[in-house]
Chain A
Amino acid sequence: MTEVIATNQTILVVGGGISGMTAALEAAETGKKVVLVEKRPYVGGRVTQLYKYFPKLCFPTCGLEINQRRAKMNPNLTILTMAEVTGIQGEAGDYTATVKISPRYVNDNCTGCGDCATAVEAEFDNEFNYGLGGVSKRKGAYLPHKMAHPQRYVIDPAIIGTDDAEKAKGACKYNAVDLEMQEETIEFKAGAVVWATGWQPYDANRIQPYGYDRFANVITNVEFERMADPQGPTGGKLLRPSDGKEAKNVAFIQCAGSRDHNHLLHCSRICCMATLKQTHFVQDAWGDEGKSTIYYIDIRAIDRFEDFYQSVKANPNVSFIKSKVASIVENTENGNPVLHGVDTEGYNRYASEYDLVVLAVGMEPSVDKASFPVDIVVNEEGFIEPAPENGGIFAAGCASDALDVNRAVQQATGAALRAIQVVNRVAGTEG
């Protein structure tokens, strides 16, 4: 049974992505007791799946390493992985949280040696690579990614009860595989809650005219990010999914599902910069042979990102077409997607063929409006409002709005401060 020591001076952080980690660490480093609940088997969230950050084009692994080290060193912080908050009762200064913990089937004897993965035969699509999961699969016993924290393997529940599970157990020299682990539900107290459940990419299947569900060579920006990563499904090579051909002529479609009353009403803010960044991946991979074409309504490279936009614009291998693409069809002879639409600068009708099309899909809140386990004020787009009715529950990062990493971290620090104020009040009344 998992033991969590918590009082109503403890801060509960829901979600261990970059925002949740930041809020948890900032609060823990001021001396507060913090419990971080994360649904995935590791912390870091979607940032772990990014290849590079904009605008510096540096690696997220760097910041993650610092945060993971801070987490390891801090005795005030308890991290629960594979755990989900199913209910929160009470009021500011006196909450009781119910948390469901799924079995990992691997205990903390695990050294991360990987012998279990070698022994297991069953393979699954690797969810870490989004829709490109089938390109290079993962085993039934696996480490979600190279620098996963905690550095412990996970056994897929689908192999429990099969020979593969026994093989994993047999291969482990450290007695770390525990096939008897059960799902458990625990309850503990908290004085304040930081809600940092983050975002998910908008479901591209719903943008019917772009044929994401029908054409292999139409992918999303998060998938392209995995493709560019040397740890990704193609080993960092830009190879298109249908036939493994080198993707040298790449089109990017902006506002794919954002700013659209049929899809997401809001501007997701990050997709323009993400695409501008990804044109660098094309340039870096193929030099002058790599061509990027960006179809846009308007480029929203806000404040200091303007310089980045201007430098991409100056690259002769990147062209900009002011047009929302109307539809995509596939050239059945070579598998190339063909983009149809009208260029609104000059009103030219085009039918342009590319090796690969990247849909710059937007951010939607990962928790559905209707399924919050606690009463909370949510706006039209599904993001949490900073409302007084929320009591001691504060949104951090993308649970509050569509934000890039930089802004999410700033916002999460603010949320941590709000939570600290609540538990300080509790300490005042109790002490």
Chain B
Amino acid sequence: MSDLNNTMINKYRTSFLKEVEANVEEGEWVKMCMQCGVCAGSCPLGKHWAHPPQEIFMMIRAGKREEVLTSDSMWMCTSCYNCIARCPRGLPITHIMHGLAHYAQRLNLVPQQQPTQRFAKVFWENMLKKGRVNELKLGLSLYFIDGFGQGVKNAMANQKLGQNMMKAKRMSPMEILGGHGVKNPGELQKIIAKAQALEDARISGNS
């Protein structure tokens, strides 16, 4: 639990819907859901979710703040956009799911072992260093995410895949020495930091 989380709980005590509308990307669409269920039925991973999208929207309106924000449901979205294509009200469901995931992460409420968010963090940090994804380092960080022993096991199990990627020039062993990147990664990091600051200011302005 973060301080920001406590602030938000106090501020929006009466309405989780208002909190979502103010702070979650595309959150103002949540009230437009008419509970037809076509998103849930159309989701290829739907049966693996604890709560399908239209249930999440209903839970938001019912004020089930903790259940929603600590849920792993929105982390299960693979951005296939089936729900957006079929939603009769035109809700940007995929974007709302990502918005909710991002907001939960910001409030530090995400279940820590949720694999998608662990991957997302590793991916983001990897990309931020050079402005390009370093496939080799990304692969290695993911292998060793659960410790050294498991990492070695993972690396052995995927040995063939790694070799094939190198043969096909999809991955270079030289990437271990720094690797490729954009011309001026420092500037990119500044842009990101500025964007981060603007968003922090917006959210704390709401708190």
Contacts and interface: CB of A to CB of B under 8 A. Distances in A.
B57 to A, nearest CB: 10
Interface in A291-329: 297-298, 322-327
Given A342-B46, A347-B52, A326 B90 contact: no
Contact of B88 (A209, A260, A342): A260
Interface string B77-96: 00000000111111000000
Contacts of A343: 37
A259 B52 contact: no
B88 A261 contact: yes
Given A324-B37, A347-B40, A342 B52 contact: yes
Q: Which of A259, A340, A342, A347 has the most chain B CB atoms inside 10 A of its CB?
A: A342
Q: Give chain A's interface secondary structure class.
A: loop
B32 to A, nearest CB: 11
A341 B71 CA distance: 22
B42 interface: yes
Given A260-B88, A327-B41, A341-B41, A297 B52 contact: no
Contacts of A260: 88
A324 to B, nearest CB: 4
B200 interface: no
A89 to B, nearest CB: 40
Interface in B32-74: 34-38, 40-42, 46-47, 51-52, 54-55
A262 B41 contact: no
Contacts of A255: 36, 88
A324 B41 contact: yes
A178 B88 CA distance: 52
Given A323-B41, A347-B55, A297 B36 contact: yes
A364 to B, nearest CB: 16
Interface in B133-179: none
Contacts of A347: 40, 51-52, 55
A209 B40 contact: no
Interface residues of B, number: 20
Contacts, number: 64
A259 B35 CA distance: 13
A343 B88 CA distance: 16
Interface string A350-378: 00000000000000000000000000000
Nearest to A254: B36
B41 A261 contact: no
B86 A340 contact: no
Contact of B38 (A261, A263, A324): A324
A343 B35 CA distance: 10
B36 A327 contact: no
A255 B86 CA distance: 13
Interface in A243-272: 255, 259-263
A297 B34 contact: yes
B36 A209 contact: no
A255 B36 CA distance: 10
B42 A344 contact: no
A259 B89 CA distance: 8
B63 to A, nearest CB: 18
Contacts of A326: 37-38, 40-42, 86
B37 A209 contact: no
A245 to B, nearest CB: 27
Nearest to B42: A326
Contact of B47 (A261, A324, A349): A349
Given A324-B36, A324-B38, A343-B37, A349 B46 contact: yes
6 contacts: A262-B88, A298-B34, A323-B36, A327-B42, A341-B37, A342-B54
Interface of A: 209, 255, 259-263, 297-298, 322-327, 340-344, 347, 349
Given A326-B38, A341-B37, A344-B55, 9 more contacts: A255-B36, A259-B88, A262-B88, A297-B36, A324-B88, A325-B38, A326-B42, A342-B41, A342-B46
